[in-house]
Amino acid sequence: MGSGVDAVVTAPVPMTRSMREQFRAAIASEQRISWIAVAFPLVLWAFVDREPLLLVLSGVFFGLSLVRSRAIPAIDRGDIERAIVLFTASKWLVSLVFVVVLPITLPIAMVNIIMPIALVSTQLQERRFPLMVASAMVVTLLAGMAGYLQNVFELESKVEPWVWQWLCIVVLVAHIVPLSLIVWRSNRQQTIVLDEALDANARLRESDAELRRSRSRLVSAADAERSRIERDLHDGAQQRLVAVLVQLRLAARTARRSGDVDPDGVDALADDLEAGIEEVRRLAHGIYPPLLKMRGLPVALRAVARRNGPRTVVVDDGIGRFDAAIEAALYFCCLEAVQNATKYGGDDVEVTIRLRSTTVDGRQELVTTVSDTGPGFDPTGAASAGRGLENVRDRIGAVGGEVAIESVIGGGTTVELTVPVADRPAGTDDGTTEHDIDRGASVAQGGR
Amino acid sequence: MAVFLVDDQIPFLRAAAAVIGATDGFRVVGCATSGVHAAEQIIERGGELGLVLLDVHLGDLDGPAVRARIARTWPGLPVAYLSTIDEADLPDDAWDFPVVEFFSKTSFGPETLHGLLPKLGRRDER
């Protein structure tokens, strides 16, 4: 898997505005509770024991609360990691100090150590998460060890044990609500984000599919129009002009025999007309080869091979006929590849066009490869531009196919076109003659 | 020589018929504008024909397929293709059965017909 994909997988869940508000609200709530930690030693100092340590403790908690309060502006600035560090560190330090002073608060400390992980874990980079867990483990270890100090400051003995016990129980129970809310909101938020992402993904897929269908329709419509123009040119203007030419030549012959008209003038006229007919013929053939429409891809490509010379070979696995859009896409892309091979490889280049039908995961695919022994090129380099490869990708993409190009400088080029097709060929009732039936696999070489 | 003319383009059919009519020793004895109809006619009348001039692109059954059908009944009947496309663009099965010549329609004239005579052998009497 590439690094780009890794980056996507390990990135934290993006913090939406609502998640940021939730995080901010949780810290603000914790901030309010923290004032209890500030007030509690003061209350003890006032009503239980005038121990100066309690004032120091209150001061420490006050300082930590101030530190924690800096987390909110950090969130507002978008500095989430800083907010996490401030929030977590202050919470853990408060818990540690409490356990040292009052070991009976160890269960509360455990909850407070875990709470930041539950609250902010989704916002951490993957590489930061182990650090946070390790830190939590160390803090837990320290809290546990502090618990064994067993009342080093003897504060616990100055109050009835049941007061401490009930205080701990109430605080623990009180923690259940915010902790549950934090976990619930976090999970709900992630579920919402995930659902939205899935919905967006589904819409994107549908949009992508519609785009493909639209592109396919556009290409099919263009091909149909090209085919119609070719037919109109071939069956209409070209045939009429040919008929006129034949009649003109016949008239020139008659005139030459009778001596009534200057036959050279008529011949010159006929030559001009023939040149015009040739231009129309080439134009029509370039627009859409009639053989492709009449006889399908293998036959049309064999004609291409014959035009290209004896070193061009078509190997047909007996693929039969397919949808006109697919046949046209593959034909024009093969033509592009063959023309490229000849253009860059010269007349001696050997070109092999292979046509085969295969089934992958129950899906039928038409695989066409054009391999040549030309000079090759760097497919990722600037030299690949101008070889019509973008057209090839556009054409094949429009029928839902894929293009793979392998080329080594000095080692030739292979263009592989893979197109998904219907379960069966388009049938032998669409222009394929009875003569094509049972032809099976065949190999044809150009340059008859 | 009795010539059967097959082309789905009426203007060219007329022009070709005019050329054949103006060529000594040749005459049009029948014509068809579709492959299926041509095959039926030729199979029925093959014995009286000396040459079939066959277009390649026809509306239904194309030229090579008509050639194949004719060959089943009249394997020795001379057939020549007449088309506006290049010879290289013919389907490769166009030559599965003997064809005496391929003509470009633009060069079709009395001289091309006369040029065929040596290839037609004894059937030129028909």
Q: What digits encode the pLDDT tens for the residues A333-350?
A: 999 999 999 988 888 899
Number of folded domains in chain B?
Answer: 1
CA distances from A163 to A34, A155, A158 (A): 20, 12, 11
Hey, of A240, A435, A436, A437, which one would you mutate to test binding to chain B, going by the most B CBs within 10 A of its CB? A435
- Residues of A whose CB is below 8 A from B97: none
Cβ pair A444:B92 closer than 8 A: yes
In a domain, B125, yes or no: no
Residue in this structure with the two tokens 């990691």, named with its chain if needed: A81
**pLDDT tens-digit map of A238-256:** 888 999 999 998 988 888 8
CB distance B92 to A313 below 8 Å: no
Round to whole Å and give the CA distance between A362 and A67: 62
Share of chain A above pLDDT 90, in %: 19
- pLDDT on residue A436: 39
CB distance B91 to B57 below 8 Å: no
Cβ pair B12:A245 closer than 8 A: no
Tell me if ipTM is over 0.90.
Answer: no
Domain boundary among A232, A266, A287: A287
Cβ pair B110:A277 closer than 8 A: no
How many residues would you count in chain A? Answer: 448
Is A434 a residue whose pLDDT tops 60? no
Cβ-based neighbour number of residue A1 at 10 Å = 7
Sign of CA dihedral A34, A35, A37, A38: positive
CA distances from A7 to A84, A124, A163 (A): 22, 14, 52
Task: Print the domain residue range for B41.
Answer: 2-117
Is A288 a residue whose pLDDT tops 70? yes
Q: Are residues A266 and A323 in the same domain?
A: no
CB distance A33 to A172 below 8 Å: no
Is A43 a residue whose pLDDT tops 80? yes
Q: Which of A239, A245, A250 shows the shortest C-beta gap to B22?
A: A250
Mean pLDDT of A310-330: 90
Helix then strand count (H, E) for chain A reads 14, 6
Residue A360 dihedral angles phi and psi, to the nearest 5°: -125, 120
In a domain, A217, yes or no: no
From the number of C-beta atoms within 10 Å of its C-beta (0-12, 13-18, 19+), residue A255 rates as middle
Structure tokens at A417: 């076109």
CB distance B1 to B24 below 8 Å: no
Cβ pair A436:B93 closer than 8 A: yes
Q: Are residues A141 and A251 in the same domain?
A: no
Domain of residue B43, CATH code: 3.40.50.2300
Whether A83 contacts chain B with CB within 8 A: no
For chains A and B, count residue pairs whose Cβ atoms are closer than 8 Å.
Answer: 101
Structure tokens at A358: 């295969």
Whether B9 contacts chain A with CB within 8 A: yes
Q: Are residues A355 and A422 in the same domain?
A: yes
Round to whole Å and give the CA distance between A413 and A407: 4
B55: nearest CA in chain A?
A239
Q: Are residues A267 and A298 in the same domain?
A: no
Q: At what angle do helices A52-69 and A80-101 cross, to 10 degrees?
A: 170
CA distances from B117 to A22, B25, B51, B101, B102 (A): 98, 10, 10, 11, 14
In a domain, A81, yes or no: yes
Q: Name which residue leads in pLDDT, A30 or A441.
A: A30
Q: Are residues A300 and A279 in the same domain?
A: no
Cβ pair A239:B11 closer than 8 A: yes
In a domain, A216, yes or no: no
Mean pLDDT of A288-298: 86
- pLDDT on residue A15: 58
Q: Are residues A98 and A51 in the same domain?
A: yes
Domain boundary among A114, A132, A159: A159
Is A203 a residue whose pLDDT tops 90? yes
Q: Are residues A242 and A357 in the same domain?
A: no
Hey, of B12, B95, B97, which one would you mutate to test binding to chain A, going by the most A CBs within 10 A of its CB? B12
In a domain, A176, yes or no: no
Is A417 a residue whose pLDDT tops 90? yes
**pLDDT tens-digit map of B46-55:** 889 999 999 9
- pLDDT on residue A338: 93
Which residues 300-319 on chain A approach chain B with CB closer than 8 angstroms?
302-303, 306-307
Mean pLDDT of A216-235: 86
- pLDDT on residue A297: 93
In the 3-class helix/strand/coil scheme, how is A110-163 assigned residue by residue?
Answer: HHHHHHHHHHHHHHCCCCHHHHHHHHHHHHHHHHHHHHCCCCCCCCHHHCCHHH
Q: Are residues A412 and A439 in the same domain?
A: yes
Is A447 a residue whose pLDDT tops 70? no
Lowest-confidence segment of A39-43, A46-50, A66-70, A257-261 by average pLDDT = A257-261
Whether A55 contacts chain B with CB within 8 A: no
Pick the most confident of A90-94, A232-236, B21-25, B84-88. B21-25
Q: Which helix (H) or strand (E) holds A34?
A: helix A17-47
Which residues 55-114 on chain B approach chain A with CB closer than 8 angstroms?
57, 61-62, 64-65, 68, 84-86, 88-93, 95-96, 105-106, 108-110
Structure tokens at B35: 């492959």
Q: How confident is the model at residue A1 (pLDDT cuts 50, 70, 90)?
A: very low
Cβ pair B84:A235 closer than 8 A: no
Whether B44 contacts chain A with CB within 8 A: no
Is A438 a residue whose pLDDT tops 50? no
- pLDDT on residue A377: 85
Task: Print the domain residue range for A283.
Answer: 222-287
Q: How confident is the model at residue A109 (pLDDT cuts 50, 70, 90)?
A: confident
Lowest-confidence segment of A103-112, A418-427, B14-23 by average pLDDT = A418-427
Mean pLDDT of chain B: 88
Number of folded domains in chain A?
Answer: 3
Pick the most confident of A14-18, A167-171, B56-60, B112-116. B112-116
Domain boundary among A109, A139, A159: A159
Helix (H, G, I), strand (E, B) or coil at A124: coil
Q: Are residues A431 and A319 in the same domain?
A: yes
A442: nearest CA in chain B?
B92
Q: How confident is the model at residue B124 (pLDDT cuts 50, 70, 90)?
A: very low
Q: Which residue type is seen at A4?
A: G
